[in-house]
Amino acid sequence: MTMTDLETSMATIIAVFQKYSEREGDKHKLKKSELKDLLHDELPDLMAHVKDQAALDSLMESLDSDGDAECDFQEFMTFISMVTVCCHEFFEHEDE
Ligand SMILES: [Ca+2]
Ligand SMILES: [Ca+2]
C-alpha cells in the first residue's frame, strides 16, 4: 500500500518529533534542549529569528500549554500548524 503525499507528510512530522523527543528524559516529550536541536536542524530559517536564549525561552513558554516545561506532541502540532499557516499566508500573498 502506498501512502499519499498527505499521509507521508503526517508520518514525517511524527518521525521528526520522535527523533528528537527520544534523545533525553521523557521519550514522548521535547525538553527545551531537544526542541532547540529540532528547530536548529529542521527549521533553520525559522531558527534564524530565534537567535537568543530569551527568544527560545518565550517560544517554549508559549508552546507549553500544560505548563510541564516540556513540549509534547500535541503542543508540537499546535506549533507546526501555526508555522504552516504562516507559510501558507506568505505564499498566498506571493500570488497577488
Ligand atoms: Ca525527551
Ligand atoms: Ca507541555
Residue ranges in the chain assigned as alpha helix (H)? 5-21, 32-42, 44-47, 53-63, 73-94
Q: How far is the CA of 6 from the centre of ligand 1 (A)?
A: 26
Q: How far is the CA of 51 from the centre of ligand 1 (A)?
A: 22
Identify the pLDDT of residue 96: 66
Q: Are 29 and 65 in contact (CB under 8 A)?
A: no
Is 70 exceeded by the pLDDT of residue 75? yes
Domain ranges in the chain are 5-94
Give the Cα separation of 96 and 78 in Å (integer): 28
Q: Which ligand is nearest to the CA of 62?
A: 2
Q: Which ligand is nearest to the CA of 28?
A: 1
The more confidently predicted of residues 52 and 33 is 33
Q: What is the tens place of the pLDDT at every residue in 10-47? A: 999 999 999 999 999 999 999 999 999 999 999 998 88
Identify the pLDDT of residue 52: 85
The pTM score is 0.88
Is 80 exceeded by the pLDDT of residue 95? no
The CATH T-level fold of domain 5-94 is: Recoverin; domain 1 (1.10.238)
